[in-house]
């Protein structure tokens, strides 16, 4: 008789947990997974997918306007936010059903309820105990609103995806992925959007040229960006909401959306009691094979805060299955992970930023192209695309590729394969472009940017 009820018990049925459960079952393991909310997790239920549907909705505004330049007698049709949200919810229900079906068809037992560790081999769900040889923590993360007077009633991305009506004025706090994506969506849907960003620029960690270009484009769309700005308090009255900055400026809006980061969901689930070491911020401490301080307990995805992206959680899940159920210890690889921000315009990026490349290699050759896409020669829209290549001169390898402009995510995904394969600038140059396209710029950049002027020594 088996020593444990299951070979694997997964806590959390988001992208990473579901992937690990299914592929472990395919390797012959007896697997259970528990979920306290809806199967699908952040990405499917309240993140990437619903957000991208809203991004599509918002882009129609420009498309209707641009169509006139192409001979369409187009008038801006009326827009119904409740209709969009209802359609989005229907699609999320469908995907939720697909995820449940995937688990069922893989032979994984799905338990509804919160999983709490009773010991290193026992998980309790709704008062019932289940034992397992291996336990995988894949509980994800949740948005956090920093403590601030009046901050309690503010929205996060969770509520923004469920708003019953569009507000007239919105303040978005933060300048990261979620802040800029939602700013683009709501501004395009006609909301007066302002942003409070504590740094100098949006999107800390991205290439500086891309960050500057995004801020320029967003300001052109009418988004007000308050940089070096932190809120001190939020007060509500019949007239709306007044957000007071630490500099004493009042920003009057109808709603405030906090997008200031997310926190690992690891509280009150018996982890520390079972001996699982947590970092100060609540994330699970794991080694290179995603193993926690308890040898049979592993963790993947946002709750480990290594690189909080759905495809990375899927990758970590696959490596975990290889390691534990295929007898093939496999470390997740975090180099050259492409990523996109579905801002307006979108950003796609892979490899190092210019600052990182200079720090790593000393010298770096920079190629840049900024242009108005062909489409907008007729529309007159002042929307620019910026593309940038970073080349390590000794090896000629392309070590960074960045783009802001239409279809950036679609374009950069393909180039990410080349970068992953170690493509050189000479190989980029030898590749024939697809004409006319924006993407061809990446293989036709011939002129290096001048070296930055060195600061004179004192
Ligand atoms: P991010 O970490 O990307 O950005 C948080 C923002 O809030 C930063 O601008 C940060 O400033 C600011 N901030 C943090 N704390 C405070 C504070 N106390 N007061 C004021 N501002 C503050 O988090 P997000 O919530 O935007 O997204 C979470 C993660 O989800 C991302 O890191 C990403 O991994 C993932 N994600 C990916 C997406 C995609 O792939 N397209 C889409 C959405 C999310 P500073 O920069 O100065 O620290």
Q: Which pLDDT score, from 0 to 100, does residue 453 have?
A: 80
Q: Which pLDDT score, from 0 to 100, does residue 147 have?
A: 95
Bridge partner residues of 135 (DSSP): 9, 297
Q: Output phi, psi for 183, to 5 deg.
A: -60, -45
The verdict on residue 330 lying in a domain is: no
CA of 176 to the centre of ligand 1 (A): 4
Q: Are residues 12 and 134 in the same domain?
A: yes
Q: Are residues 254 and 273 in the same domain?
A: no
CB contact set of 94 (below 8 Å; sequence gap of 6+): none
Q: Are residues 162 and 71 in the same domain?
A: no
CA of 68 to the centre of ligand 1 (A): 37
Q: Which pLDDT score, from 0 to 100, does residue 455 have?
A: 60
Q: Which two tokens stand for residue 315?
A: 């990758």
Residue with tokens 């979620």: 178
Alpha helices, DSSP H only, in 263-394? 310-325, 354-361, 375-379
pTM (2 d.p.)? 0.96
Pocket of ligand 1 (CB under 6 A): 146, 173-179, 181, 198-199, 204, 230, 259-262, 308-309, 339-342
Q: Are residues 287 and 376 in the same domain?
A: no
Please say if the pLDDT value at position 456 is more than 60.
no
Q: How confident is the model at residue 2 (pLDDT cuts 50, 70, 90)?
A: confident
Average pLDDT over residues 18-43: 98
Q: Are residues 199 and 285 in the same domain?
A: no
The verdict on residue 450 lying in a domain is: no
Task: Summarize pLDDT for 104-151 with one digit per residue, the tens.
Answer: 999 999 999 999 999 999 999 999 999 999 999 999 999 999 999 999
Q: Which pLDDT score, from 0 to 100, does residue 76 have?
A: 86
Q: Are residues 13 and 108 in the same domain?
A: yes
Q: Which pLDDT score, from 0 to 100, does residue 74 have?
A: 76
Q: Are residues 13 and 132 in the same domain?
A: yes
Q: Are residues 301 and 405 in the same domain?
A: no
Ligand 1 closest atom vs CA 204: 46
The verdict on residue 32 lying in a domain is: yes
The verdict on residue 333 lying in a domain is: no
The verdict on residue 455 lying in a domain is: no
Report yes or no: 270 and 285 within 8 Å, Cβ to Cβ: no
Q: How confident is the model at residue 89 (pLDDT cuts 50, 70, 90)?
A: very high
Domain that holds residue 62: 6-143+263-325
Q: Are residues 139 and 235 in the same domain?
A: no
Please say if the pLDDT value at position 458 is more than 70.
no
The verdict on residue 454 lying in a domain is: no
Q: Are residues 24 and 112 in the same domain?
A: yes
Q: Which pLDDT score, from 0 to 100, does residue 75 have?
A: 83
- State the number of CA atoms in the 13 A half-sphere of 422 facing the CB: 1
Please say if the pLDDT value at position 251 is more than 60.
yes
Q: Which of these three, 224, 244, 260, is where a domain ends?
A: 260
Report yes or no: 345 and 404 within 8 Å, Cβ to Cβ: yes
Q: Are residues 219 and 256 in the same domain?
A: yes
Instruction: Check which CATH number belongs to the domain holding 403 and give it.
Output: 3.30.390.30
Q: Which of these three, 260, 276, 310, is where a domain ends?
A: 260
Q: Are residues 18 and 124 in the same domain?
A: yes
CB contact set of 235 (below 8 Å; sequence gap of 6+): 150, 241, 242, 244
The verdict on residue 448 lying in a domain is: no
Number of structural domains (the chain) is: 3
Instruction: Check which CATH number belongs to the domain holding 249 and give it.
Output: 3.50.50.60
Average pLDDT value for the chain: 97
CA of 143 to the centre of ligand 1 (A): 9
- DSSP tag of 366: E
Q: Which of these three, 274, 303, 325, is where a domain ends?
A: 325
Task: Summarize pLDDT for 390-445 with one digit per residue, the tens.
Answer: 999 999 999 999 999 999 999 999 999 999 999 999 999 999 999 999 999 999 99
Average pLDDT over residues 191-202: 97
The verdict on residue 452 lying in a domain is: no
Question: Could you tell me the end-to-end alpha-carbon distance of the chain, in angstroms, rounded to an integer?
Answer: 77
Q: Considering Cα of 341, then 347, then 349, then 352, what sign does the dihedral take?
A: negative
Please say if the pLDDT value at position 255 is more than 90.
yes
Task: Summarize pLDDT for 41-87 with one digit per residue, the tens.
Answer: 999 999 999 999 999 999 999 999 999 999 999 788 999 999 999 99
Active-site residue flag, 59: no
């Amino acid at each position: 008789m088996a020593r444990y009820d299951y070979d694997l018990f997964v806590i959390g049925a988001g992208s990473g947990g579901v992937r690990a459960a299914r592929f472990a079952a395919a390797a012959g393991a007896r697997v259970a997974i528990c979920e306290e909310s809806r199967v699908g997790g952040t990405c499917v239920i309240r993140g990437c997918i619903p957000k991208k549907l809203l991004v599509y909705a918002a882009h129609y505004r420009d498309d209707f306007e641009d169509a006139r330049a192409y001979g369409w007698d187009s008038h801006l049709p009326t827009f119904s936010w409740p209709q969009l949200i209802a359609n989005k919810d229907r699609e999320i229900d469908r995907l939720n059903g697909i995820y449940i079906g995937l688990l069922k068809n893989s032979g994984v037992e799905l338990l509804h309820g919160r999983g709490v560790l009773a010991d290193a081999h026992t998980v309790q769900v709704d008062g019932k105990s289940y034992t397992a040889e291996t336990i995988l923590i894949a509980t994800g993360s949740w948005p956090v609103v920093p403590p601030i007077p009046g901050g309690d009633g503010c929205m996060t991305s969770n509520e923004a995806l469920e708003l019953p009506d569009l507000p007239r004025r919105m303040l978005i706090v933060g300048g990261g992925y979620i802040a800029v994506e939602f700013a683009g969506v709501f501004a395009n849907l006609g909301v007066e959007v302002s942003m409070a960003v504590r740094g100098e620029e949006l999107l800390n960690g991205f290439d500086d040229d891309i960050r500057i270009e995004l801020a320029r484009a967003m300001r052109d769309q009418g988004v007000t960006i308050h940089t070096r700005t932190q809120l001190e308090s939020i007060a509500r009255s019949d007239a709306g909401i007044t957000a007071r900055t630490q500099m004493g400026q009042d920003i009057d809006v109808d709603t405030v959306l906090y997008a200031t980061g997310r926190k690992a969901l690891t509280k009150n689930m018996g982890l520390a009691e079972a001996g699982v070491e947590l970092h100060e911020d609540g994330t699970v401490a794991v080694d290179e094979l995603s193993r926690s301080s308890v040898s049979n307990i592993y963790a993947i995805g946002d709750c480990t805060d290594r690189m909080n992206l759905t495809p990375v959680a899927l990758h970590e899940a696959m490596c975990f299955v290889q390691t534990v159920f295929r007898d093939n210890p496999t470390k997740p690889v975090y180099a050259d992970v492409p990523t996109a921000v579905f801002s307006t315009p979108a950003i796609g990026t892979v490899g190092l930023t210019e600052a990182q490349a200079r720090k790593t290699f000393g010298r770096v050759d920079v190629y840049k192209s900024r242009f108005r896409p062909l489409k907008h020669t007729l529309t007159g829209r002042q929307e620019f695309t910026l593309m940038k290549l970073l080349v390590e001169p000794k090896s000629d390898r392309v070590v960074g590729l960045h783009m802001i402009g239409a279809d950036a995510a679609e374009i950069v995904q393909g180039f990410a394969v080349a970068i992953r394969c170690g493509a050189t600038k000479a190989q980029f140059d030898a590749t024939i472009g697809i004409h006319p396209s924006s993407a061809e710029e990446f293989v036709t950049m011939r002129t290096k940017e001048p070296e930055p002027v060195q600061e004179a020594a004192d």
